[in-house]
Amino acid sequence: MAEQEHMNAQQYQRAEAVTFIESLDVRSLFTEPGLGKIIFDSYNLSNPHQFIRKEKDQKYVSKVVGDAGLSANPKLGVTDIQTLSKKICEAFVNEKEETYFQVNELGKYSGLLWNYVKNKKYEIFKIQKSMEPVAEEAPLDQNIIENKNFLDEDTCDPWERVEAAWLITRTIREKDLHKSQPKKKSKRGPDDALPLEIFLNKWPSLKHPSGYKLVQLDFNARYPDAGELTEAKLDQLINKLQVLKETKGGGDKNKWKEDINNRKMKIVSNETDFDVKIASKIKLLSFLMPPHDRANKLIKTTVVDVHKSMILHVQTADAINNAIMTRSRMLKSLNKNLQPTLTVVGVDFDHLDEFICCINNVKWKCDDFLTAFDRIFKSYFVLDVNYPYESEVIWGVIQRHLYQVDCNVPSENTRWLVNLSCIDDIDEVDYTPENNHEEINNVQEIVDNNNNPQGRNNIVVINQDHENIDNNNDEDHADVNNNSNNENHEEENNDDETPGKKNIDAKNHERKNIEKK
């Protein structure tokens, strides 16, 4: 009964609004002293009739008429706006209706009166929304309160008790992280999220050396279907990116070729440590997915910026704090926040000893590079922070391609993800540097047979200029290399396979010829 009465009241209100709009005399809105009367009089006195300030006066007329219509019906519809635009043209005889309202071939509305009413209705909606009473949060369960109090004590002993309390209090953390947050991370400003330092202080167990285990618990609870990071998945991603790079025309195909070959040499070398190989593969991503954005109007993001944002290298553990502070100051100058950072320690990038996840002043030591990389990625989600702006696109591809997590993927990733989905996986990814297949085999043979510093120096020579394997090699050996290069070029010219894919049978045939010689 009450619902029926409410519907009847709405219908009566709507009928009144229609009657008001249909009977409205627009001229009467411009009779009171003021700007409206001046505009109306000057229009009628001009010969031919026209607005003196043209679009400014037309917008003012749209405002006056639109406000009159909204006063009768705050939900002014398309038919109402069309009726009002006709009445404007009746009052201002030389005006055209399409100036105030029109519909194009696609059914899209436009016009000065339409735009004004649309914007005004949105303002009214926001005001009404802000006036709605805020729903009171339900009181917390006593069990949740007790476990939160235990975590606040920051005893972290026994650790099994900490993990149990952490799982019970997950709903509180979700509320802390998601209060008044934009749905898309890319639209958040530096002040939108709960400041990371405040969150870490509110949940001090994260500062414990085993705090990464709590991140893992939250990530598993939030994304139970997420995939595991493996070297095999990373290899497949790199292969697909290499195929995409090969299909590009112009200079992009050979861009950063020397840098890519340097990393590949480390990956295929038997002397390279496993962690360095994985770090080199991650570094390859910055060359295969080069940046196209800018930090601001003056600063363009470079490939170096990208891989530094993903892997921060320092020579000693004592240098970590200074490196983090330097990056924090740089980001602050760009009005951006410092994000969780993967820091590696070693004399150079090819000799890594320590792997540390740095989250503000919190440091989690990891046993290997792959584990550290996995923990950094998951901390972005559990702590609900943005990816580093320099490598946001790469992280988005990693998120979808390696972890199968679909939410909050930046729109810039769409092109990459669509193209990657069109390429099939292969059995074994070939990291042999381009145009240097035979030279690499010869260098590896020197290193394996002689196992001396001279062999190591030969690898460095190829990494630097890709011209000579060893100045001390005899002429016959050089002839073999030249012949193999010529064969490579002939086979490449006759290759009808998909660009970017390797002809493994042809390579094996080349190697057999060299062995016979």
How does pLDDT run across 421-448, given as a tens digit for each residue? 888 888 888 898 876 544 445 545 544 5
Please answer whether residues 362 and 200 qualify as being in contact, where contact means their C-beta atoms are separated by less than 8 angstroms.
Answer: yes
Sign, CA torsion 206/212/215/217: negative
Instruction: Please list the alpha-helical segments (H only) found in 366-436.
Output: 369-382, 392-401, 414-421
Which residues fall within 8 angstroms of residue 152, CB to CB, at 6 or more apart? Answer: 204
Instruction: Give the residue among 181, 178, 179, 168 at the shortest CA–CA distance from 217.
Output: 168
- Determine the Cα angle at 129 with ends 125 and 131, to 5°: 120
**The predicted structure's pLDDT at residue 471:** 40
Rounded Cα distance between 360 and 404, Å, is 28
Rounded Cα distance between 513 and 517, Å, is 6
**The predicted structure's pLDDT at residue 93:** 87
Query: Reduced to 3 states, what is the DSSP secondary structure of residue 253?
Result: helix
Rounded Cα distance between 200 and 181, Å, is 18
In angstroms, the Cα distances linking 130 to 175, 192, 228 are 20, 19, 43
Rounded Cα distance between 442 and 433, Å, is 13
**The predicted structure's pLDDT at residue 357:** 97
Instruction: Count the neighbouring beta carbons within 10 Å of the beta carbon of residue 32.
Output: 9
Token pair recorded at residue 359? 């989250």
**pLDDT tens sequence for the chain (517 residues):** 556 665 666 676 777 778 888 888 888 998 888 888 898 889 888 888 888 888 999 999 999 999 998 888 888 888 889 999 999 999 998 899 999 999 988 888 999 999 999 999 999 888 888 877 765 656 678 899 999 999 998 888 899 999 999 999 999 998 877 654 444 444 444 444 457 888 899 999 999 999 999 999 999 999 999 988 999 999 999 999 988 888 865 455 567 888 889 899 999 999 999 999 999 999 999 998 888 776 666 778 899 999 999 999 999 999 999 999 999 999 999 888 899 999 999 999 999 999 999 998 899 999 999 999 999 999 999 998 889 999 998 999 999 889 998 876 666 677 788 888 888 888 888 898 876 544 445 545 544 554 444 443 443 333 333 334 344 434 444 343 444 444 444 444 444 444 444 444 554 455 445 444 4
Q: What are phi and psi of 457, to 5 degrees?
A: -65, -35
Give the DSSP letter of residue 345. Answer: E
Instruction: Give the H or E element holding residue 218.
Output: helix 211-222
**The predicted structure's pLDDT at residue 208:** 94
Instruction: Give the H or E element holding residue 359.
Output: strand 351-359
DSSP letters, 36-87, are HHHHHHHHHHSSS---SSTHHHHHHHHHHHHHHHHHH-TT--HHHHHHHHHH
| pTM of this prediction exceeds 0.75 | no
User: Which residue type sits at 470?
Assistant: D
